[in-house]
Amino acid sequence: MKAKEIEAHLFSVADWVDRERTVDGILLGDPEKDIRKVLITWMPSFDVLRTAVERGFDMVMPHEPTFFAHVERDKMEELELGKKKKQFVEDNGLVILRNHDVWDRMPEIGIPWAWARFLGFGEKPAETGGNGYLHRYDIEPVALDELAQQIATKTSGIGEPAVQVSGDGSRMVSKVGIGTGCACNIERYLEMGCDVSVVSDDGSIYWRTIQWAKDKDHPVIRVNHGTSEEPGMVTLTKYVNDTFPGVNAEHLPHGCCYRLVGAR
């Protein structure tokens, strides 16, 4: 299957994507290239690109930018490191097909659905907002710190053994606002009736959004961006394998973007 055929299929199943404005699509490489092996990963670092070449992959399908900017087509050669990455991709005949806007809102198996299912919140949200990015799940009442511990037990398996919590740990909560990445919106979660928000660090800043939530007396659990979107990379890998005959997709885990180092 050619790279352009994979790209065309992804756009064909995502009528929510504006083709003129999306960050998705073939960023680098030959659209006519025959694709047999696809490496699925959250963030396409230089190490990931080297791994793809060493293991004989034809395509890398990342969720996040290759060139350090969300809208990256005009940015990839601005930095010297961007030029080096671009040259490496071209020299080794790789195709980079970014899958962000499609997979963020792919019903039932896309990024926010996969994250909620991974945490054990169920298959279907009680309410959806924010153009499909924001979800509310209704669970049995539980103390905030107990919910945070349950989430940390799940995230520890993908590299984040502790989560950040703001609010009274004994507060009982049951309506969970959840999303991923920069799309998390605590104010919107409150409008959706949520009594706790599970957010990502790239989308929730302490001096602004977390402080606003504190002043509103709204509990927040915060995790790393990479942690929250790893389950969606697993579902994307399965989708590619199930959808494209003759194409073998493999998931290269990314997980949490940092390690925690404690005091002696």
pLDDT at 77: 67
Which pair of tokens denotes residue 64? Answer: 């996040």
pLDDT at 248: 98
pLDDT at 138: 98
As a whole number of angstroms, the distance between CA 117 and CA 112 comes to: 9
As a whole number of angstroms, the distance between CA 3 and CA 85 comes to: 20
Where does residue 164 rank: exposed (0-12), middle (13-18), buried (19+ CB within 10 A)? middle
- Give this prediction's pTM: 0.95
- Dihedral, 76, 78, 80, 81 alpha carbons, nearest 10: -30
Which pair of tokens denotes residue 253? Answer: 């885990």
CB 60 within 8 A of CB 48: yes
pLDDT at 256: 93
Full strand arrangement of the beta sheet holding 248-251: 25-28, 95-98, 59-62, 37-41, 248-251
Q: Is 71 helix (H, G, I), strand (E, B) or coil?
A: coil
Low-confidence ranges of the chain (pLDDT < 50): none
Where does residue 204 rank: exposed (0-12), middle (13-18), buried (19+ CB within 10 A)? buried
As a whole number of angstroms, the distance between CA 224 and CA 154 comes to: 13
As a whole number of angstroms, the distance between CA 112 and CA 110 comes to: 6
pLDDT at 23: 95
